[in-house]
Amino acid sequence: MKLVILGGAGVRTVFFTNGVAQKADLMGITELVLFDTDEKKLAIMGALSKYAARKANPALIVSTSLDIREAVSGADYVVTTIRVGYDEGRVIDEDIAMKHGVLGQETTGIGGFSMALRTIPVMKEYCRIIKELAPRAWIFNFTNPSGLVTQALRDAGYDRVLGICDAPSGTKINMAEALGIPAGELKVQFAGLNHLSFVTSVIHHGKELLPELLKDDDFLKKVKEFSMFEPDVIRTIGHLPNEYLYYFFYRNKANQNVKGSQKARGRAVMENNIEMFKALSQMNPETQIEEMLQTYLRFMYNRESTYMVNETNQALAHKPFDGQIPNAEGYAGVMMNYLLTMATGEEREMVLSIPDSVGHFGLKAGDVMEITCRITKEGIVVEERGELSPAAQAVIQSVKAYENLTVEAINTKSVQTAQAALMAHPLIGDYPLAKKLVEDILSAHKTYLGEWNY
């Protein structure tokens, strides 16, 4: 079977390829194609990915392509992880955000809104081509803002799109480690939106643990996703939170921390990537491939070790650099759980962003939500959603209204609808501010966005 990654020049592609190669035989994957539009970066990431694959599983065929039609033709599965506007677009978004005193974060903040405007039209075109050349392919969307992009693609009729994110699975693993039990023994129910979900149930050997975990300060401090919140905040909301909820519950503090930092996250990532590709481009993959891999891993370690440090103003715990490709499978692991079930028939639990068929937590039928699902050979079964506190539901409902208005604005190229979307966003919610933000974003990214109408 053929697996394709759109955005194959992305910096995490080596991690992805390594994870796929290790389980390719079990999943029935024989071919992995890395597609991108950046020829130079694709050559570098392609060489490293092929090397990683050879070490893990020489039987897996890894190739690169600059032609989208060639890449996806006959594909069985496609993973999307593209960045329209590159790192420079993220920096522009953060500069606009800082100018207006709002959060620029690239999924939850105004950066996510701007990224959606640039990305969704491109993703719709890619999905059109996939539907033409590989109509039975399942598309795993990891392109950010993942939930919003998935909503737009589902609304456009692409019903074989599943939104994926590695945050919930990573949180579950960290929770199990803090509790001293195997992750496979822990049943964790997530419900909400992508980067805005809450834990509604934690079961171990039939016993519900959530009430006591909410009271356990030591446990909350041990899990890095929860450690950035004061325990009283978690108990006030009534659920264990996704780490991105920090931006909602500490928005003033997050903004102040970003302002006080030497540089915004996007600029730090861009500079790290520039230096990394500069160093890698000076090496010969034919004779220095192991040196290239070690250089790549060092730069990626530097990147990951500064994750959310500026916003939270606290150093996050990271394991020492060991020169090995991380065993953590990230979004590849989420995708692979699905493929393993399809190949073996063994049911698995996954957290996916999919349309809610009925409408829960004040959402309407068809709204894409992030929810724990059971994956079977016959299809996807949504697990029990549990209950969400009124405070949690309020955040979800306002952000979903923002998401739906953003999709409408992109489809109609309506400035007024874009402004309405930001007025609904709980981190904006102000008309003069929304108007200025929309004006600046449309002007800064006119090359990608074209002309909009009132």
Residues annotated catalytic, as ranges: 166, 244
Distance CA 282, CA 433 (A): 45
Distance CA 318, CA 176 (A): 17
360 labeled part of a ligand binding site: no
Instruction: Give residues with Cβ within 8 angstroms of 189, minimum separation 6.
Output: 199, 200, 201, 202, 203, 372, 383, 384, 385, 386
Residues paired with residue 105 on neighbouring β-strands, in sequence order: none
Q: How many CB atoms lie within 10 A of CB 454?
A: 7
165 labeled part of a ligand binding site: yes
The phi and psi torsions of 81 (rounded to 5 degrees) equal -150, 65
The b-or-e profile of 193-224 (16+ CB within 10 A means b, else e) is bbbbbbbbbbeeeeeebbeebbeeeebbebbb
How far, CA to CA in Å, does 18 sit from each of 55, 273, 324, 327, 358?
9, 20, 11, 9, 38
> Residue 396: in which H helix or E strand, if any?
helix 390-412
Listing DSSP states for 92-114 in one string gives HHHHHHHHHTS---SSSSHHHHH
Residue linked to tokens 């989208």: 68
Residues paired with residue 188 on neighbouring β-strands, in sequence order: 202
204 labeled part of a ligand binding site: no
How far, CA to CA in Å, does 304 sit from each of 169, 184, 340, 376, 418?
17, 26, 28, 34, 33
Instruction: Give residues with Cβ within 8 angstroms of 199, minimum separation 6.
Output: 171, 188, 189, 190, 210, 239, 240, 241
Contact between 450 and 412 under an 8 Å Cβ cutoff? The reply is no
Contact between 161 and 127 under an 8 Å Cβ cutoff? The reply is yes
Instruction: Give residues with Cβ within 8 angstroms of 98, minimum separation 6.
Output: 104, 258, 259, 264
The phi and psi torsions of 92 (rounded to 5 degrees) equal -60, -45
Bridge-based pairing of strands 379-382 and 348-355 is unpaired
How far, CA to CA in Å, does 290 sit from each of 85, 117, 237, 262, 355?
31, 39, 48, 33, 44
| Residues making up the binding site | 90, 144, 165, 195
| Residues making up the binding site for Mn(2+) | 165, 195
| Residues making up the binding site for substrate | 90, 144
